[in-house]
């Protein structure tokens, strides 16, 4: 018998629980974000039926295409934007998402602040840090992260809840997770969004409060991003 997405979800939940316990952390102290990018509503329904309520999407437009129907069917769904955000999408992002993980420059912070004021709706915000300082990757440089969080507060009037990172694919993720944890401490923010299918248990050891797991639940993605 082939494992279904719901089976894989249960297995990931068990591993997350075990990793949390092994790290000496309280049960439930890390939230599983099921990353459903590139998958259709029909692929997502069984995972909702299996009890999952927190989901991550990379693209505003794609999410707006499939999630209104799913939200109409099930109360209490929480949607996280984990992909890069353009300032011309700030309006939709604030209207649609509960948490935005990818604040990484003043232009975005200003656009989000304006929309939060206009809409009277305030998603939780995380600052993405480019811990590997990769030129092609989004995120603020580690050396600027603490000052940027401070500017989000003082210049833009935004409450920042945490930090997020995506370590370089070819590297040991541990030093990146440790760096994000340290920067979050220094910035005085509680949330750490780090760890994906391949390394979420390592991230839990380094204090992840949110792990973002896609392919280990939904299966292989044919389309990139
Ligand atoms: C796609 C994606 C994930 C999930 O990756 P998997 O390796 O499929 O678990 C997590 N975080 C971000 C930012 C992503 O784009």
Instruction: Print pLDDT tens along the chain (225 aa).
Output: 578 999 999 999 999 999 999 999 999 999 999 999 999 999 999 999 999 999 999 999 999 999 999 999 999 999 999 999 999 999 999 999 999 999 999 999 999 999 999 999 999 999 999 999 999 999 999 999 999 999 999 999 999 999 999 999 999 999 999 999 999 999 999 999 999 999 999 999 999 999 999 999 999 987 655
Quote the pLDDT of residue 224. Answer: 59
Pick from 133, 154, 150: nearest CA to 142: 133
| pLDDT value for 23 | 98
CA 138 remoteness from chain centre: 14
d(CA 208, CA 216): 18
Q: Give the global pTM.
A: 0.97
Q: Is the CB of 215 under 6 A from ligand 1?
A: yes
Label residues 188-207 b or e (16+ Cβ within 10 Å = b): ebebbbbbbbebbbbbbbbb
Q: What is the pLDDT of residue 1?
A: 58
Within 10 angstroms of residue 164's Cβ, the number of other Cβ atoms is: 27
The whole-angstrom separation of Cα 130 and Cα 85 is: 15
Q: Which of 52, 56, 139 is the best mutation target for the ligand 1 pocket, counting ligand atoms within 8 Å of the beta carbon and taking the most?
A: 56
The pLDDT value recorded for residue 225 is: 54
Q: Measured between alpha carbons, how far is residue 32 from residues 24, 134, 179 in Å? A: 18, 26, 21
Residue 217 Cβ inside 6 Å of ligand 1? The answer reads: no
pLDDT reported for residue 222: 79
The Cα 62–Cα 52 span in angstroms is 20
From residue 23, alpha-carbon distances to 29, 30, 186 in Å are 11, 11, 22
């Amino acid at each position: 018998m082939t494992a279904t997405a719901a089976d894989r979800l249960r297995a990931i939940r068990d591993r997350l629980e075990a990793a949390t316990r092994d790290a000496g952390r309280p049960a439930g102290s890390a939230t599983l974000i099921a990353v459903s990018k590139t998958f259709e509503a029909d692929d997502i329904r069984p995972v909702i039926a299996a009890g999952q309520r927190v989901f991550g999407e990379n693209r505003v437009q794609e999410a707006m295409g499939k999630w209104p129907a799913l939200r109409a069917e099930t109360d209490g769904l929480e949607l996280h934007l984990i992909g890069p955000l353009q300032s011309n999408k700030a309006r939709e992002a604030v209207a649609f998402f509960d948490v935005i993980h990818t604040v990484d420059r003043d232009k975005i912070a200003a656009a989000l602040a304006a929309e939060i004021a206009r809409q009277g709706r305030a998603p939780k915000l995380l600052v993405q840090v480019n811990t590997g300082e990769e030129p092609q990757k989004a995120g603020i440089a580690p050396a600027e992260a603490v000052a940027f969080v401070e500017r989000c507060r003082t210049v833009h009037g935004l409450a920042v809840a945490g930090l997020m990172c995506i370590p370089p694919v070819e590297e040991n993720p541990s030093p990146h997770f440790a760096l994000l944890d340290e920067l979050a401490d220094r910035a005085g923010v509680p949330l750490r969004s780090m760890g994906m299918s391949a390394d979420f248990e390592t991230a839990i050891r380094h204090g992840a409060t949110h792990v973002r797991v896609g392919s280990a639940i939904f299966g292989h993605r044919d389309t990139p991003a």
